[in-house]
């Protein structure tokens, strides 16, 4: 009981921070300080955060190197596109969400069960291959309109919805990480053989992290489709998976705060460097290599911003 | 235990409720009412300057640049008596849908452009539609070819979306007619570019309109270099022609490998092949018995004064033969100029109206009339290549 | 029947290129357990080098090939020294991400410097087609096949008969033990990279000649397929990589010949997943039990 009450204080703080952010955004739009360009940039950053937090769960906390995130995003995106075109209503939108998540779970199980027993590099290539297979299948199906992609998707994902869902998915993921399940996953990451010797069903837990990550990717995909109103198979290729990977690595594999920070930094950098053309990619690539060689733990390493620590710090100070 | 569960559920429920309220309550939306013209006429360019379509994007940029330079050299565009110069704002959408949307938002909101030229690909094009519609700024795409690009889901036309090129159904069915009627081909193998809507859209249109038998249908990806396996499989299918819609970098190789494999039947393509580099890649002797639909024929150009002037100027400025993409982009800019002159105003909403009224516009790529679906209607020509050079041009009515 | 043999020739030609690339992958992975994502791009560099020297310095084919091998070998060593050596004791994820970064850097760097359009590789060796019983094979296809086989034989000889080759084998089994018996780790690894990269360079020039078309992104997909070939044949085994390369080439041709060309890339990925599940050590690999 006491534990819940104690936690309640911190959860409430986070809640207040999120609501403040919401009203701040709303006011700035009403005042006219945020135009559709900045709104666009912010929503893209939020969708990237959802993707990166999910990937961080798989790579950072479970230690499974998956390069196939874009495949699950594609599943969510296309499900939403197809369903909302048939049932044009907000109900249809939410239904497509759920259907997208279910299909993503099934796909994650199909991909995960055979491949998660592979190690490191092999797992990376296998997941990349699986995502490519998903993309090629989508590219050749009639119902997805093939390479032409789908457009004129009705827009139901307005910025409030994206913001709220970003907050919810982050809360769920962080709670999972801090729960018993999260600790199990971290133990699997640290030393899988030792964890197995302790009686933990490593396959089950690796699969759980993988599926959760895939579900968040599908959610992000649904939002992407409904916000941008245009999707094409080429949006979900290897490059997309690697872009999300870069966000996770830059922020620090294993730090959710770092992911937030990196997503924002990269989102802004992308816009600032827009006129550099191909040189921008060269700069990114060089920066990535330098980062890996000199600071492989990323910007924040495994440091997390925690309100609990803040409170404790203040308490200790005032004593 | 039970109380803990209840508290958890209640907490979750409250959170969802609040979330629902926040998401549902009416919140501020970003929008605007069209951009008025200032001292200069601002034309924005949303183009693929890096990424997969960078080659085409950069060709189009050259066409646009040349058009604007010419207009400004002549004093600018005549807006209701006053001549105003054109300033170009070029932004790269990296062949990515989300970047295209962001670029469009930047152009219409930050840069306050009066019209947009681009993008080159349909996908990037559809991604910008919501933003330009919200801001009431029209866009002319030189090369977005999907038939539904200019239409809303309901079938009504998109008020701010125009194009200067053919849409796939028109080009594909023309090729089908040509193959059946002019080349008397009764069995055709289709080999289409599967990496974009251009190849697959044309192949679909061809198959629908073609009256003969489709003996085989295969696909390739952009960047592929080896077509021997597919071509060998065509050999024992008794074909009279091959329809290969795609871009010159791959079609050039297909032509070369087909001829080397001993396949000498006509190879028909589309305007993505209309580039002197095709013969370079294929090899002049191989580039024989090759046909493609195109709006911009160098042969016809020699009779068409506007095109001749364009080709000469392009060669002088950039020291290479003008590719179709540059010509289409050039026309896009001049179409916007015409719209402004007709409406006597350079306000973005007025330009949109002016574009709908374009009739028999004398473009480099033909006499263009914008129809009710905002597509560019212009005569289509089938060029014939023999030994790498254009030997004939047949106008298809 | 003719069509069948023709397709076999097509498959073998395609496969010999994959085989050459697979050799580089297998050697590097065998020795430092790293998938060198940049390998496909070194192949691209070789092709561009060949293009440059043939057009500007008017080299003949042999000279272009040999110089490309040397240049790519040097590039491989430089990349190893700058990007992979500092990370030798880092977690696999870091090294893999660095490899991806290097690959991106090379691709986009070349695209930035030379434009992303395809360029025609000059036809320095005139193409002559031989017709054997209705099956067409060109002199270039024969050259590629023969050159690939010769290079593979030379490689196998180096590994089995030379001191450096023995050092390479030792390091790939247990690098700590190898150091203890006096093997210079850095030199051996650099040598491995040089060998693998020079194979890739040779492949690049030959592909340039065969298809007459090069572009900065040409190494991406063949690189991945060559990696799959290396896995199929058995990572760490040179004859395995060669066999794997030919098998993947034949498979890709088969898929196209039965009309499923839209899925030709997907099939290769499916093969990868299947082989990792059924026989992860590949055809010629050895099953090493992990000791705790």
Regarding whether B152 and B61 lie in a shared domain, the answer is: yes
Q: Give A248 to chain B, closest Cα distance, Å.
A: 20
Evaluated on CA atoms A85, A90, A91, A95, the torsion sign reads positive
Tens digits of per-residue pLDDT, A24-63?
A: 888 887 777 777 788 888 899 999 999 999 999 888 888 8
Contact A29, A39 (CB under 8 A): yes
Regarding whether B282 and B134 lie in a shared domain, the answer is: no
pLDDT above 70 covers a percentage of chain B that reads 89
**pLDDT beyond 80 at C87:** yes
Domain ranges in chain C are: 17-218
Question: CA-CA distance, A268 to A235, in Å (whole number)?
Answer: 20
Regarding whether B246 and B186 lie in a shared domain, the answer is: yes
pLDDT at B32: 62
All residues of chain C having their beta carbon less than 8 Å from the beta carbon of residue A245 are: 97, 100
Q: Give C225 to chain A, closest Cα distance, Å.
A: 10
Q: How far apart are the first and last CA of chain C?
A: 54
C13 lies within 8 A of chain B by CB: yes
**pLDDT beyond 80 at C288:** no
Question: CA-CA distance, C154 to C66, in Å (whole number)?
Answer: 14
Q: Between the CA of residue B299 and those of B269, B381, B383, C175, C213, what are the distances in Å?
A: 17, 10, 8, 68, 28
Over range C98-111, report the average pLDDT. Answer: 89
Tens digits of per-residue pLDDT, B342-353?
A: 988 888 888 999
pLDDT at A1: 45
Q: B166: closest CA among B336, B292, B53, B320?
A: B292
**Does residue B32 lie within any of the structural domains?**
no
All residues of chain B having their beta carbon less than 8 Å from the beta carbon of residue C221 are: 223
**Does residue B22 lie within any of the structural domains?**
no
B:C CB pairs within 8 Å = 83
| Rg value, chain C, Cα | 19
Contact A131, A68 (CB under 8 A): yes
Touching C: which chains, 3+ CB pairs < 8 A? A, B
Q: How far apart are the first and last CA of chain B?
A: 81
Contact B258, B204 (CB under 8 A): no
Contact C165, C159 (CB under 8 A): yes
Tens digits of per-residue pLDDT, C130-168?
A: 887 778 888 888 888 898 889 888 988 998 899 988 898
**Does residue B253 lie within any of the structural domains?**
yes
Query: Cα–Cα–Cα angle for B271, B273, B279, nearest 5°?
Result: 145
B22 lies within 8 A of chain A by CB: yes
Query: Cα–Cα–Cα angle for B148, B153, B159, nearest 5°?
Result: 75
A172 lies within 8 A of chain C by CB: no
Phi and psi torsions of A144, nearest 5°? -95, 5
Regarding whether B271 and B174 lie in a shared domain, the answer is: yes
Question: CA-CA distance, C118 to B223, in Å (whole number)?
Answer: 9
Give CA torsion, residues C157, C163, C166, C168, to 10 deg: -90
Touching B: A residues 262-291, CB under 8 Å: 270-271, 274-275, 277-278, 280-281
Contact B393, B299 (CB under 8 A): yes
C112 lies within 8 A of chain A by CB: yes
Regarding whether B129 and B236 lie in a shared domain, the answer is: no
B337 lies within 8 A of chain C by CB: no
Touching C: A residues 179-218, CB under 8 Å: 193
Regarding whether B190 and B93 lie in a shared domain, the answer is: no
Question: CA-CA distance, A30 to A25, in Å (whole number)?
Answer: 9
Q: In the structure encoding, which two tokens stand for residue B221, read together?
A: 């990806």
Over range B238-260, report the average pLDDT. Answer: 91
Touching A: C residues 230-259, CB under 8 Å: 231
Helix, strand and coil in chain C, % to nearest 5? 75, 5, 20
All residues of chain A having their beta carbon less than 8 Å from the beta carbon of residue C116 are: 278
Touching A: which chains, 3+ CB pairs < 8 A? B, C
Contact B390, B298 (CB under 8 A): yes
C136 lies within 8 A of chain B by CB: yes
pLDDT above 90 covers a percentage of chain B that reads 35
pLDDT at A250: 85
Domain count, chain B: 2
Which stretches within A116-201 are classed as H helix? Answer: 120-140, 159-177, 180-190, 192-197
Touching B: A residues 162-191, CB under 8 Å: 164, 167-168
pLDDT at B309: 86
Using CB atoms, pick whichever of A129, A136, A296 lies closest to residue C263: A136
Residue tagged 């023709």 (tokens): C6
**pLDDT beyond 80 at B168:** yes
pLDDT at B25: 47
- Point out the domain boundary residue: B232, B266, B294: B294
DSSP label of B50: S
**pLDDT beyond 90 at C194:** yes
Q: Which of B20, B94, B98, B141 to mutate to test the interface with A (most CBs of A within 10 A)?
A: B98
**Does residue B5 lie within any of the structural domains?**
no
B323 SS3 class: coil
Decide if A274 and B131 are in contact by the 8 Å CB cutoff: no
pLDDT at B300: 58
Decide if A148 and B110 are in contact by the 8 Å CB cutoff: no
Helix, strand and coil in chain B, % to nearest 5? 45, 20, 35
Contact C121, C50 (CB under 8 A): yes
**pLDDT beyond 50 at C1:** yes
Give ipTM to 2 decimals: 0.85
Give CA torsion, residues C164, C170, C173, C179, to 10 deg: -110
- Point out the domain boundary residue: B245, B265, B294: B294
Q: Please name the residue of chain A whose CA is at the shortest distance from the CA of residue B16.
A: A168
Regarding whether B359 and B257 lie in a shared domain, the answer is: no
Q: Please name the residue of chain C whose CA is at the shortest distance from the CA of residue B256.
A: C211
How many other C-beta atoms lie within 10 A of the C-beta of residue C119?
Answer: 21
C283 lies within 8 A of chain A by CB: no
pLDDT above 70 covers a percentage of chain C that reads 98
Decide if C256 and B260 are in contact by the 8 Å CB cutoff: no
Question: CA-CA distance, A283 to A273, in Å (whole number)?
Answer: 10
Q: Please name the residue of chain A whose CA is at the shortest distance from the CA of residue C36.
A: A121
Task: Give every strand in the sheet of B41-47, ordered side by side.
Answer: B86-92, B41-47, B115-117, B139-141, B161-163
DSSP label of B265: S
B129 lies within 8 A of chain A by CB: yes
- The most distant pair of C-alpha atoms in chain A lies apart, rounded to whole Å, by 68
All residues of chain A having their beta carbon less than 8 Å from the beta carbon of residue C277 are: 114-115
pLDDT at B20: 54
B218 lies within 8 A of chain A by CB: no
C221 lies within 8 A of chain A by CB: no
Residue B301's pLDDT band (boundaries 50, 70, 90)?
low
Question: CA-CA distance, B58 to B176, in Å (whole number)?
Answer: 31
**pLDDT beyond 50 at B157:** yes
A307-317 per-residue burial string, b: 16 or more CB within 10 A, e: under 16: eeeeeeeeeee
Q: Please name the residue of chain B whose CA is at the shortest distance from the CA of residue C250.
A: B229
A159-177 helix and B2-24 helix, angle to the nearest 10 degrees: 160
**pLDDT beyond 60 at B5:** no
Q: In the structure encoding, which two tokens stand for residue B325, read together?
A: 């993409």
**Does residue B16 lie within any of the structural domains?**
no
Q: Please name the residue of chain C whose CA is at the shortest distance from the CA of residue B279.
A: C120
All residues of chain A having their beta carbon less than 8 Å from the beta carbon of residue B153 are: 85, 152, 154
Regarding whether B313 and B260 lie in a shared domain, the answer is: no
B229 lies within 8 A of chain C by CB: yes
Greater confidence (B32 vs B144) lies with B144
Contact C169, C41 (CB under 8 A): no
Evaluated on CA atoms A174, A175, A179, A184, the torsion sign reads negative
A106 SS3 class: helix
Using CB atoms, pick whichever of C14, C213, C257 lies closest to residue B233: C257
C238-257 helix and C264-278 helix, angle to the nearest 10 degrees: 140
Decide if C101 and A245 are in contact by the 8 Å CB cutoff: no
Tens digits of per-residue pLDDT, B104-142?
A: 988 998 889 999 998 998 889 999 998 899 889 999 999
B134 lies within 8 A of chain A by CB: yes
HEC assignment per residue over A220-254:
HHHHHHHHHCEECHHHHCHHHHHHHHHHHHHHCCC
Decide if A140 and B194 are in contact by the 8 Å CB cutoff: yes
Residue B9's pLDDT band (boundaries 50, 70, 90)?
low
B198 lies within 8 A of chain C by CB: no
pLDDT at C69: 94
Decide if C265 and A132 are in contact by the 8 Å CB cutoff: yes
All residues of chain C having their beta carbon less than 8 Å from the beta carbon of residue B280 are: 120
- The pTM (predicted TM-score) of the whole model is 0.87
Contact A219, A76 (CB under 8 A): yes
Task: Using CB atoms within 10 Å of the CB of residue B11, give its burial: 0 to 12 exposed, 13 to 18 middle, 19+ buried.
Answer: middle
All residues of chain B having their beta carbon less than 8 Å from the beta carbon of residue A277 are: 49-50, 92
Domain with B59 in it: 41-166+303-379
Using CB atoms, pick whichever of C92, C111, C277 lies closest to residue A121: C92
All residues of chain B having their beta carbon less than 8 Å from the beta carbon of residue C117 are: 55, 249
What CATH number is given to the structural domain containing B198?
Answer: 3.40.50.2300
10-residue block means of pLDDT along chain A (319 residues)?
Answer: 57 80 80 78 91 90 86 94 86 89 93 80 86 91 85 84 89 83 82 84 86 93 91 87 87 85 88 76 85 81 74 77
Greater confidence (B302 vs C229) lies with C229
- Point out the domain boundary residue: B244, B260, B294: B294
């Amino acid at each position: 009981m006491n534990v819940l009450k104690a936690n309640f204080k911190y959860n409430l703080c986070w809640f207040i921070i999120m609501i403040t952010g919401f009203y701040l955004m709303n006011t700035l739009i009403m005042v006219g300080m945020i135009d559709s360009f900045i709104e666009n940039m912010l929503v893209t950053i939020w969708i990237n955060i959802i993707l990166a937090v999910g990937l961080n769960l798989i790579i950072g906390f479970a230690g499974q190197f998956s390069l196939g995130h874009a495949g699950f995003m594609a599943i969510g995106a296309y499900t939403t596109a197809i369903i909302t075109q048939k049932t044009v209503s907000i109900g249809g939108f939410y239904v497509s969400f759920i259907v997208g998540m279910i299909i993503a779970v099934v796909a994650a199980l199909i991909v995960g069960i055979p491949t998660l027993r592979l190690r490191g590099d092999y797992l990376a290539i296998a997941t990349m291959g699986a995502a490519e297979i998903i993309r090629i299948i989508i590219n050749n199906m009639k119902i997805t309109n093939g390479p032409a992609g789908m457009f004129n998707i009705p827009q139901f994902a307005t910025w409030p919805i994206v913001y709220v869902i970003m907050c919810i998915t982050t809360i769920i993921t962080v709670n999972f990480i801090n729960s018993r399940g999260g600790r199990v996953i971290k133990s699997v990451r640290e030393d899988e053989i030792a964890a197995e010797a302790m009686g933990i069903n490593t396959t089950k837990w690796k699969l759980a992290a993988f599926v959760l990550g895939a579900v968040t990717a599908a959610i992000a995909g649904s939002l992407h489709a409904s916000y941008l109103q245009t999707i094409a198979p080429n949006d979900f290729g290897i490059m997309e998976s690697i872009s999300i990977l870069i966000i996770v690595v830059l922020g620090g594999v294993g730090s959710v705060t770092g992911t937030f920070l990196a997503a924002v930094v990269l989102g802004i950098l992308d816009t600032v460097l827009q006129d550099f053309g191909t040189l921008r990619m060269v700069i990114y690539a060089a920066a990535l290599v330098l980062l890996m060689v000199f600071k492989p733990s990323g910007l924040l390493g495994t440091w997390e911003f925690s309100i609990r620590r803040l409170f404790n710090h203040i308490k200790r100070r005032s004593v | 235990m039970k109380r803990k569960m209840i508290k958890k559920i209640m907490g979750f429920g409250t959170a969802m409720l609040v979330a629902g309220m926040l998401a549902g309550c009416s919140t501020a939306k970003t929008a605007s009412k069209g951009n008025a013209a200032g001292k200069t006429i601002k034309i924005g360019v949303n183009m693929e300057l890096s990424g997969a379509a960078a080659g085409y994007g950069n060709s189009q940029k050259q066409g646009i640049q040349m058009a604007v330079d010419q207009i400004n050299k002549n004093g600018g565009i005549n807006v209701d008596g006053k001549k105003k110069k054109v300033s170009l704002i070029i932004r790269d959408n990296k062949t990515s849908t989300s970047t295209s949307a962001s670029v469009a938002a930047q152009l219409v909101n930050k840069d306050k452009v009066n019209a947009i030229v681009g993008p080159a690909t349909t996908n990037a094009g559809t991604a910008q539609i919501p933003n330009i519609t919200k801001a009431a700024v029209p866009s002319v795409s030189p090369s977005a070819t999907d038939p539904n690009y200019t239409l809303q889901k309901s079938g009504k036309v998109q008020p701010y979306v125009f194009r200067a090129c053919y849409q796939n159904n028109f080009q594909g069915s023309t090729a089908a007619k040509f193959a059946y009627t002019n080349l008397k081909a009764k069995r055709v193998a289709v080999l289409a570019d599967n990496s974009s809507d251009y190849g697959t859209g044309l192949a679909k249109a061809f198959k629908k309109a073609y009256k003969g038998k489709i003996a085989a249908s295969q696909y390739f990806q952009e960047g592929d270099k080896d077509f021997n396996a597919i071509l060998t499989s065509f050999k024992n299918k008794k074909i009279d022609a091959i329809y290969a819609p795609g871009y010159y970098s791959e079609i050039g190789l297909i032509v070369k490998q087909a001829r080397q494999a001993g396949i000498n039947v006509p190879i028909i393509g589309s305007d993505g092949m209309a580039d002197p580099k095709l013969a370079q890649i294929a090899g002049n002797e191989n580039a024989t018995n090759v046909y493609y639909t195109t709006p911009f024929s160098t042969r016809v150009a020699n009779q068409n004064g506007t095109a001749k002037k364009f080709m000469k100027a392009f060669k002088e400025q950039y020291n290479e033969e003008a590719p179709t993409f540059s010509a289409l982009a050039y026309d896009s800019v001049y179409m916007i100029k015409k719209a402004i002159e007709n409406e006597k105003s350079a306000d973005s909403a007025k330009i949109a109206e002016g574009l709908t009224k374009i009739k028999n516009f004398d473009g480099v790529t033909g006499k263009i009339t914008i129809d009710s679906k905002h597509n560019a209607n212009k005569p289509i020509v089938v060029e014939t290549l023999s030994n790498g050079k254009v030997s004939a041009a047949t106008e298809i009515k | 029947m003719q069509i069948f043999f023709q397709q076999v020739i097509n498959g073998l030609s395609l496969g010999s290129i994959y085989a050459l690339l697979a050799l580089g992958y297998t050697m590097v992975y065998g020795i430092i357990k790293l998938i060198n994502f940049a390998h496909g791009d070194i192949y691209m560099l070789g092709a561009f080098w060949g293009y440059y020297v043939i057009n500007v310095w008017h080299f003949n084919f042999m000279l272009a090939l040999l110089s490309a091998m040397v240049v790519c070998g040097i590039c491989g060593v430089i990349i190893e020294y700058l990007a992979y050596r500092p990370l030798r004791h880092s977690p696999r994820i870091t090294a893999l991400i660095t490899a991806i970064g290097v690959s991106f850097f090379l691709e986009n760097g070349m695209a930035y410097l030379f434009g992303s359009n395809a360029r025609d590789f000059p036809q320095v060796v005139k193409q002559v087609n031989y017709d054997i019983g209705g099956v067409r094979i060109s002199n270039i296809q024969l050259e590629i096949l023969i050159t690939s086989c010769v290079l593979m034989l030379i490689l196998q000889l180096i590994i089995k008969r030379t001191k450096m080759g023995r050092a390479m084998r030792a390091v790939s089994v247990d690098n700590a033990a190898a150091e203890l018996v006096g093997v210079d780790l850095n030199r051996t690894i650099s040598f491995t990279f040089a060998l693998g990269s020079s194979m890739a360079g040779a492949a690049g020039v030959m592909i340039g000649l065969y298809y007459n078309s090069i572009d900065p992104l040409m190494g991406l997909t063949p690189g991945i397929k060559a990696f799959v070939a290396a896995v199929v044949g058995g990572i760490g085994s040179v004859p395995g990589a060669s066999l794997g390369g030919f098998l993947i080439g034949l498979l890709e041709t088969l898929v196209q010949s039965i009309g499923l060309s839209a899925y030709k890339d997907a099939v290769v990925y499916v093969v990868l997943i299947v082989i990792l599940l059924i026989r992860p050590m590949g055809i010629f690999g050895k099953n090493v039990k992990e000791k705790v």
